[in-house]
Chains A and B, each alone.
Chain A
Amino acid sequence: MSDFLWLVIALPLAGSVALHFLGRFMREPLPGWLATLAIAGSFAVAAGAAIPFFAGTGETEHLVIWEWMPAIGATFELQWDPLSALMALVVTGVGTLIHIFAIGYMHGDERFHRFFTYLNLFAASMLTLVLAGNYAMLFVGWELVGLCSFLLIGFWFTRPSASAAAKKAFVVNRIGDLGFLIGLMVMFATFGTLSFEGVLERAGAELTAGTATAIGLLFLVGAAGKSAQVPLYVWLPDAMEGPTPVSALIHAATMVTAGVYVVARSSPIYAESAVASGVVAVIGAITAIWAASIAIGQRDIKKVLAYSTVSQLGYMFMGVGATAYVAGVFHLMTHAFFKALLFLGAGSVIHAMSDEQDMYKMGGLARRMPVTAATMGIATLAIAGIPPLAGFWSKDEILGALFERGGIYSALWVVGLITALMTAFYMTRQWVLVFTGEPRWDEGVEPHESPRVMTLPLLALAVLSVVAGFVNTPFRFALEHFLEPAFEGVEMQHAPEGWGMFLVLAALSSLAGVAGVAAGWLAYNRPADAWRRFQEGFGRLWTAWEEAYRIDDLYGAVIVAPGRRIAEATAFQIDSKVIDGAVNGVGALFFRIGSGLRLLQTGYVRNYGAGFAAGLLIVAIWLVMRGLS
């Protein structure tokens, strides 16, 4: 089956190319269904190829498509192992549902076919990233998804805020990519190859702790850029300018998890460096609690989800940083389901509210949109970590691993618990603000349930959000066995053994989730005046959350403004005066020399003759004197 593996990438790519050239000749729903067909086919192929892994008989396979630069191990090579398979299935599975949703959501957009061109291109790029057999190809996919992210954030580029957000995402990602690229160079200098096999097999034997730390930290810079970790997370909230299906697919479910994937994929390197792993975990913890606190204060329905995404990505980083790779990837998977669901639900709400995104102007939508309300409610409980939904199991596993690891990771465990509490609170706040209470709609807004093409994906994702957690429970570590071949020989952190510890920890995290949900419910299931007073009770702290700690202003003052000043100085002072001055000066010099020499050309032949005679005399004297000596 893996002989057809290239189809996984080729199908969406073909869909993208076809839509690019032929899309404009198609009537509206057709491009969407074509794109959906392409990615659904890709899902089918990936699922078929993954069957041996489910059966436990699969072995890691390599499929070389094209010898690009074999000397450095950079070929177009697909690697098919359980980790790739899981990522590919998540990308194509969630992707298919989001494609279907987008057919309804993008209805009436004049660049309908273009949207699906990009969406398919993104799918192909992301699959290139996760199926890559070496770091060079991974980097190709890494850059391609960045490009697609840029294109899709700026899809409504006529809005200045959208094009600005697209640029911001691109530039911030570029900073991370630079770190990643340097990391690749260090890696190549160390191993002389970039292939996963070559690097990861020899990592244990040849890698010194210093080099491992260097590579690990440089990779972390790249991962922090792509996965929106502190301090490079600022682009992700702005990325919500893109159409909501994009936010769901790229900026929640798939692309932003690439950083987690890279860390998990490079586990043998991180295994050599406790420092790098620790930094990953600490960065993740800071991001988790930092973004969670900002999410509490947001009033834009998508901004809440954006900061929530940043926070949950921080959770995954905590997991992989604590070398609990399975836990991190597990959370990646469950998060993909319920966060995609939340975004699609938010999209459904926005669609119904005629593009209104302010939650303070919603309320009471549950009666108008029962399906959306129910599915989003499930997702909210899932992300809050209420057992037995998906989020509970994955989050609990990360927390368990942190607890078991001990040391500074115990502090991270506390941070994780507090973050879980906050997550439950702000997600409940969102759901309550949107779906219950009195309607606070603007005049003329008539919310209505979304069409079936949008609600069906919601239902499918809701089911997944409920059941996905059961793939890896203390009763049966199915996912762990599934992923085992991918992490062969890597020491991995687990949650504590034994039912007693499990129950204590699970009770604690459940308690955090339940407490958060209860607090959110109590605080916000009241008339608007009451919860407004509740918010004002926080004083300036609330303002700080609402304004996201004004980090953008800080970056603007510390980095952007000086950069702009340097650019202006170089452009208007150094370039126009020094550089141009030098260039023009050379020109002016020769112009002046020329206009001086020009006068020698008098046009009088007798002047030329005089010069000729003088020269002749000099040559004659020289010849005679040479003969004399």
Chain B
Amino acid sequence: MTAEAVIFVLMGVTALAGAITVVMARNPVYSGLGLLGTMLSLAVIYVAQLAHFVAAIQVIVYAGAVMTLFLFVIMMIGVDVAEDTSENLPRQRVVVGVVAAAVVAFAVYLGVSGGFEWVPAGSRQPAAEASIGTVQAIGEELFANWVLAFEVTALLLTVAAAGAIALAYFRRRRAVRE
């Protein structure tokens, strides 16, 4: 086993465990912590895949900012209300079970038939340079070929920030009036 395989097995297990925790935990706080574990595990896997910049952002933005925000909201709207996990929508769990079973069955079919490749052999591009995700490499690529997408994303973030303020401010003013 190579080092990458070892890391994959370890981090894959923790990522799956975190994901299952997200879904199964009755308390949202545990769900949040499970998600945090999954994200950190994925960050490690990114490092193993030589995607250093993405790994860094994964930790800073996701595990740091996003999860903090989540936990903040969880605390704000109350964690003491344990969710009732009994299903009250008719046939909802049946449909979910059928869909999940179909996914698994299809995956097994693909594995058994053996004709499916994730990355077809012919599509591999000749490597001009090593695709190591350093900040410099990412930056050169980003500002050379992805400028428009970058600008649009900036605009999106601005709008999102303004939107969040508008939503929260509107509610607060009503609350004061009441």
Contacts and interface: CB of A to CB of B under 8 A. Distances in A.
Q: Do chains A and B touch in the complex (CB under 8 A)?
A: yes
Contact of A624 (B89, B96, B98, B110): B110
B106 interface: yes
A606 B103 CA distance: 18
Nearest to B115: A628
B110 A607 contact: no
A610 B116 contact: no
Interface string A605-629: 0110010011001000100100110
Contact of A610 (B95, B102, B106): B95
Contact of B99 (A607, A613, A624, A628): A613
A527 B115 CA distance: 125
Contacts of A627: 116
A452 to B, nearest CB: 95
B110 A610 contact: no
Nearest to A602: B89
Nearest to B96: A610
B2 interface: no
B9 to A, nearest CB: 26
Nearest to A620: B106
B136 interface: no
B92 A624 contact: no
A38 B176 CA distance: 88
Contacts, number: 27
A24 to B, nearest CB: 68
A603 to B, nearest CB: 11
A606 B99 contact: no
A604 interface: yes
A621 B106 contact: yes
B52 to A, nearest CB: 31
B115 A610 contact: no
Contacts of A628: 115-116
Given A617-B99, A628-B115, A606 B106 contact: no
A621 B107 CA distance: 10
Contacts of B115: 628
A628 B106 CA distance: 13
A624 B102 contact: no
B116 A614 contact: no
A604 B102 CA distance: 23
Contact of B89 (A607, A614, A617, A621): A607
Contacts of A610: 92, 95-96, 99
Contacts of B116: 624, 627-628
Given A606-B92, A607-B92, A628-B115, A614 B110 contact: no
B42 to A, nearest CB: 22
Contacts of B92: 604, 606-607, 610
B102 A617 contact: yes
B107 to A, nearest CB: 10
A628 B116 CA distance: 7
B118 to A, nearest CB: 11
B115 to A, nearest CB: 5
Contacts of A614: 95, 98-99
Contacts of B98: 614
Contacts of B110: 624
Interface in A112-140: none
Contacts of A621: 106
Interface in B32-53: none
A617 B110 CA distance: 14
Interface string B66-107: 000000000000000000000001001001101100110010
A628 B110 CA distance: 10
A604 B116 CA distance: 37
Contacts of B96: 610, 613
Contacts of A606: 89, 92
A62 to B, nearest CB: 79
A103 to B, nearest CB: 85
A394 B102 CA distance: 105
A624 B96 CA distance: 21
Contacts of B89: 602, 604, 606-607
A628 B109 CA distance: 12
Given A607-B89, A624-B110, A628-B116, A617 B103 contact: yes
Nearest to A604: B89
Contacts of A604: 89, 92
Nearest to A610: B95
Interface in A28-87: none
Nearest to B106: A621
Nearest to A618: B102
Contacts of A617: 99, 102-103, 106
Given A604-B92, A617-B99, 17 more contacts: A602-B89, A604-B89, A606-B92, A607-B89, A607-B92, A610-B95, A610-B96, A613-B96, A614-B95, A614-B98, A614-B99, A617-B103, A621-B106, A624-B106, A624-B116, A627-B116, A628-B115
Interface of B: 89, 92, 95-96, 98-99, 102-103, 106, 110, 115-116
21 contacts: A602-B89, A604-B89, A606-B89, A607-B89, A607-B92, A610-B95, A610-B96, A613-B96, A613-B99, A614-B98, A614-B99, A617-B99, A617-B102, A617-B103, A617-B106, A621-B106, A624-B106, A624-B110, A627-B116, A628-B115, A628-B116
Closest 7 CB pairs of A and B: A610-B95, A613-B99, A614-B99, A628-B115, A604-B89, A617-B102, A621-B106
